[in-house]
Amino acid sequence: MTKSIGFIDSGVGGLTVMKEAIKQLPNESMIYLGDSKRCPYGVKTTEEVRQYTWEMVQFLLEKQVKMIVIACNTATAAALEYIKEKVDIPVIGVIQPGSIAAANQTKNKQIAILATKGTIESGLYQKLIIEKDQDIIVEGKACLDFASIVENGEMGSQKAEKIVHEALVPLAKQKFDTVVLGCTHYPLLRESIQEVFGDEVCLIDAGAETVQHLMVLLHYFNLAETFETNPHPKREYYTTGNPQIFQEITHKWLSDDIIVQKVDLTTYQQGEHNMTKELLIATKNKGKAKEFEAIFAPFGYQVKTLLDYPEISDVEETGTTFEENARLKAETIANELHTLVLADDSGLMVDALEGRPGVYSARFAGEPKSDAANNAKLLVELGGLEGKDRSAHFHTTLVLAAPGVDPLVAEGDVFGQIATFPSGTDGFGYDPLFYFSEAKQTFAEMGLEEKNKVSHRTNAIKDLLTKWEDWFQENKEILVTL
């Protein structure tokens, strides 16, 4: 059976991407879903946008699409990495292609980004462009009413001309030679935008650039269709809003006789995403809390810690294994607060010390706990050992607990060796001494973002996520009541 490419957007804006895809990929079947009922996305919170995007993705998955294009810049910024982690088909967004094209186009290294408030505040365009060329100056402009103009079919009206002119004239007086249309609605206002900036300024259509990446991925994954394999491609259009208004705009833009069907996404609002939007991490360690927050944010979790619950007493770690300590904390707090709780017990295990300090890592040098004292004792105990004789690994055991269910247990490790002296200031605990050979730095030198890509906690979380769905389904009747 021939499978379709799925396109999702906050409304009609993503049709600019699909139009280009139809032009360049005439033999591909395509399904489009626009969430016009909840448009615009740019003024919504990141959590809301991520939830809405996940609901649309679930709709497309039921249609058995072979690839998903998040044809919305705001949704790309908020949800792309989260969605990619959750599905087993290719998913692409519109920000990276637009960023690359802009960085390649600019001659005077001055670029303006026109986008929604949410996309601008994410900083993703700025980050990707500067990563490509640090000399480029990037300025973002949130165009608050542009998407609404398009959704209401008011392109070309005097009202539209006035709003575009008032928003962009101050920006046009600057020296930008390249302007990114960082919302897929904006190409429908291209003439008005170009008139303000002048013909000498290049407008980058991030959506159109995305289709080039789409073509590459189709061939890379051997998913591309030809006239022989799909001579009569199908096009399906869905909206959560008014199908008549959506159909009128779609007909004008695509010049195609289409039928738009209305879809209700409320059936996708229950389940694992909502269950895990808020997660309590059983720790008061600020360094550890910051790591967990950075790790869980891309997956859509709002992380709380025991710092948010000062009335909760500390749970004494009396276990002799990582799992015993993590289970003790998770189950005790879950029962007390009647909520879902994730607890961890982590430690450093040094081969030459037969796995010590292990579960006693935080108090290796005794009480009161001191990172400096622990590091000093470790260096003394390793004495004159060198190279591979200083091998060690960080270990994490995670326990996810809720009242009345057997907890979920996951584990992760990262391997390295103990340096001969501490280096770096960004970590905590043994990070200044833990040398990660692949990065040729200690964990404290790597910085949080790079460290979180390889850390024992990240690896344990990956293990947790592979087990989560089965665990949730097994205990669903209890979990949904929390």
**Whether residues 372 and 251 fall in one domain:** no
Domain that holds residue 176: 100-144+161-202
Confirm whether 154 is domain-assigned: no
Residue 291 pLDDT greater than 80, yes or no: no
Give the tens place of pLDDT for each residue, 194-226. Answer: 999 999 999 998 888 899 889 999 999 999 999
Query: Which residues neighbour 84 within 8 Å (Cβ) at sequence distance 6 or greater?
Result: 91
Whether the pLDDT of residue 318 is over 50: the answer is: yes
Q: Is residue 121 part of a domain?
A: yes
CB-facing half-sphere around the CA of 46: CA atoms within 13 A: 19
Q: What is the distance between the alpha carbons of residues 83 and 444, in angstroms, rounded to a whole number?
A: 30
Query: Residue 300's pLDDT band (boundaries 50, 70, 90)?
Result: low
Instruction: Say whether 314 counts as a known binding-site residue.
Output: no
How confident is the model over 139-191, as pLDDT tens digits? 999 988 888 888 787 888 888 899 999 989 988 889 899 999 988 888 888 89
* Pair (439, 304) in one structural domain: yes
* Residue 256 labeled ligand binder: no
Q: Do 40 and 189 sit in the same domain of this protein?
A: no
Instruction: Answer whether residue 274 shows pLDDT above 80.
Output: no
Distance CA 250, CA 12 (A): 7
* Residue 151 covered by a domain: no
Residue bearing tokens 């002296």: 421
* Residue 457 annotated as lining a ligand binding site: yes
The DSSP-derived string for 211-250 is: HHHHHHHHHHTT----TTT-SS--EEEEESS-HHHHHHHH
Task: Name the residue among 208, 268, 232, 265 with its Cα closest to residue 30.
Answer: 232
Selected residue with higher pLDDT from 239 and 305: 239
Check pLDDT > 70 for residue 273: no
Q: Do 120 and 226 lie in a common domain? A: no
Same domain, 46 and 188: no
Range name among 45-49, 205-209, 287-291, 311-315 with the lowest pLDDT average: 287-291
pLDDT of residue 308: 80
Q: Is 123 annotated as a binding residue?
A: no
Flag whether 76 is in a domain. yes
Domain for residue 153, yes or no?
Answer: no
Q: Same structural domain for residues 240 and 330?
A: no
CB 283 within 8 A of CB 305: yes
Could you read off the pLDDT of 223-264 as tens digits, one per residue?
Answer: 999 999 999 999 999 999 888 888 887 777 776 678 889 998
Could you give the residue ranges of the DSSP H alpha helices within 87-145?
A: 95-105, 117-122, 124-132
74 is in an annotated binding site: yes
CA torsion through residues 155, 158, 164, 167, sign: negative
Q: How confident is the model at residue 1 (pLDDT cuts 50, 70, 90)?
A: low
- Is 277 annotated to bind a ligand? Reply is no
**Exposure class string for 221-243: b at 16+ Cβ within 10 A, else e:** eeebbeeeebeebebbbbbbbeb
Q: Note the pLDDT of residue 391.
A: 96
Q: 278 falls in which pLDDT band (50, 70, 90)?
A: low
How many alpha carbons fall within 13 Å on the CB side of residue 371? 13
Q: What is the CATH number of the domain that holds 115?
A: 3.40.50.1860
What is residue 122's predicted lDDT score, i.e. its pLDDT?
Answer: 86
262 annotated among ligand-binding-site residues: no
437 plus 333 within the same structural domain: yes
As a whole number, the mean pLDDT across the chain is 88
Residue 156 lies in a domain: no
Instruction: Look at residue 116 and tell me whether its pLDDT is greater than 50.
Output: yes
Q: What percent of the chain has pLDDT over 70?
A: 94
Are 433 and 460 members of one domain? yes
Residue 293 inside a domain? The answer is: yes
Block residue for tokens 């260096």: 379
pLDDT per residue over 8-18, tens digit each?
A: 999 888 888 99
- On whether residue 149 sits in a domain, the answer given is no
Give me Rg for the CA atoms of the chain: 26
Does the pLDDT at position 270 exceed 70?
no
Say yes or no: 286 and 190 in one domain: no
Question: Residue 277 — very low, low, confident or very high, per pLDDT cuts 50/70/90?
Answer: low
Q: Is residue 275 scored above 70 in pLDDT?
A: no
- Res 299: pLDDT: 54
Q: Which residues are catalytic?
A: 72, 183, 345
Could you report the per-residue pLDDT of 411-433, keeping only the tens digit for each?
Answer: 999 999 999 999 998 888 999 99
Confidence of residue 393 (pLDDT cuts 50, 70, 90): very high
Question: What are the φ and ψ backbone dihedral angles of 324, each rounded to 5 degrees?
Answer: -60, -45
Pair 412, 341 in one domain: yes
DSSP three-state, residue 355: coil
Rounded to whole angstroms, the Cα distance separating 412 from 292 reads: 14
Q: What is the pLDDT of residue 198?
A: 92
Q: Please tell me whether residue 448 adopts helix, strand or coil conformation.
A: helix
Predicted confidence (pLDDT) at residue 444 exceeds the cutoff of 90: yes
In this prediction, residue 301 carries a pLDDT of 61
**pLDDT at residue 272, rounded to an integer:** 43
Give the total number of structural domains in the chain.
3
Please tell me whether 41 is known to bind a ligand: yes
The distance from CA 25 to its chain's CA centroid, rounded to whole angstroms, is 28
- Phi/psi at 59 (nearest 5 deg)? -60, -45
Which SS3 state, helix, strand or coil, does residue 284 take? coil
- Consecutive H or E run containing 401: strand 391-401
Position 128, amino acid: L
- In this structure, are residues 94 and 210 in contact, taking their beta carbons and an 8 Å threshold? yes
Give the 3-state secondary structure of residue 278: strand
451 annotated to bind ligand = yes
- Asked if residues 44 and 147 have their Cβ atoms less than 8 Å apart, the reply is no
Rounded Cα–Cα distance for residues 188 and 253 (Å): 8
Same domain, 262 and 347: no
Q: Are residues 123 and 214 in the same domain?
A: no
DSSP H or E run through 335: helix 322-337
Please report, for the domain that includes residue 297, its CATH number: 3.90.950.10
**pTM for this predicted structure:** 0.55
